[in-house]
Amino acid sequence: MMIGKGGFVKQQIAQRLRRFVPVASALALCCVASAQAVETQDPFEGFNRAMFSVNEGIDTVVKPVAKGYDEAAPLPVKAAVGNFFGNLYDAWTAVNDLLQGKPSDAASDAGRFLVNTVVGIGGVFDVASEMGMTKHSEDFGQTLGTWGVGEGPYFYWPIIGPRTTRDTFGWAVDSWADPVWDLNDVPVRNTLVGVRFIDMRASLLPADRVVEEAAFDKYSYIRNAYLQYRRSQIRDGAPLPADDADSAE
């Protein structure tokens, strides 16, 4: 099933791209006015905390499944699963590279997608990384950020978890571009969505314990970590200028 998918996926992406540009410009127009936020903006903390407990509830079911998967699946299987979904995403990363004005990254990520889809048997093997083609991590929320769209208030949504207002829009566009959600074969689609979700949850297992121990208030620890993480992604990992001038002795 995975092997034949490459051409199909490419076709899907081309189709989506044609529809994409008008949506992107509309979004840009409506959001560009807000300034880049630096401080934490959490005006809906009450709602967010309620949703946070909802997700903690859902996680009591999801976490054991993820743990079971993590313990039962041998490493090569987990790597193959991670590679497969990572490869599907690389194509979308390349589109976002382009939208952010990074053509050489776009070429690299598009090249990764081609190499891994063809040589890496539908993306199961990450041949491109071994060839030295760096994997980037871009999504539409980051593209909006690069364009100067402000974060807006912070939200904690059911199932998908933390997103700023900008990243909520970004997520919606990412999901719309997601080839998995667009598969016509519903059982296959649902299986892929499910496996991807569990794989994602399993990859967060090591972080769980750290957060559990480190946080005084799990909600605000995760909020701050999410905001720091997203801001760093938009800077492409460049370090922040030292900001402790006011706190040094």
Nearest residue to 120 (alpha-carbon basis) of 235, 5, 214, 226: 5
Helix (H, G, I), strand (E, B) or coil at 234: helix
Closest CB to another protein among 27 and 94?
A: 94
Query: What does the block give as tokens for 246?
Result: 């006011």
Residues contacting residue 84 through CB under 8 Å, at least 6 positions apart: 2, 122, 123, 124
Question: 16 or 155: whose CB is closer to another protein?
Answer: 155
Please report how close the Cβ of residue 37 comes to another protein at its closest, in angstroms. 14
Q: 21 is written with which tokens?
A: 């540009």
Q: Which of 186, 171, 158 is nearest to 230 (CA)?
A: 171
- Find where tokens 């599907």 sit: 88
Report CA Rg, the chain: 19
- Mask 21-40, x = binds another protein (CB under 8 A)? -------------------x
- Choose the stretch contacting another protein; rule: CB under 8 A; options: 142-150, 153-161, 189-197, 209-217: 209-217
**Nearest-10 crossing angle of helices 165-177, 75-99:** 110
Q: Which stretch binds another protein (CB under 8 A): 20-28, 47-55, 113-121, 206-214?
A: 206-214
Q: Cα-Cα-Cα-Cα dihedral of 130, 134, 135, 136, to 10°?
A: 170
Would you count residue 91 as binding another protein (CB under 8 A)? no
Whether 237 contacts 142, CB under 8 Å: no
Q: Least distance in Å: CB of 22 to another protein?
A: 31
Stretch 139-198 residues interacting with another protein (CB under 8 A): none
Which of residues 12 and 100 has its CB atom nearest to another protein in the complex?
A: 100
Per-residue binding string, another protein, 58-87, x by CB under 8 A, is: -----------------x--xxxxxx--x-
Q: Which residues pair with 155 in a beta bridge?
A: 163
Considering the complex, state which of residue 30 and residue 119 has its C-beta at the smaller distance from another protein.
119
CA distance 175 to 173: 5
Q: Does 248 bind another protein (CB under 8 A)?
A: yes
* Site for another protein contains 242 (CB under 8 A): yes
Residue 109 Cβ vs another protein, minimum distance, rounded to whole Å = 13
Q: Return d(Cα 31, Cα 164) in angstroms, integer.
A: 13
Output the smallest distance, CB 226 to another protein, in A: 9
Would you tell me which residues interact with another protein (CB under 8 A)? 40, 75, 78-83, 86, 126, 135, 137, 203, 206, 209-210, 213-214, 216-217, 220-221, 223-225, 228-229, 231-233, 235, 237, 239, 242, 244, 246-249
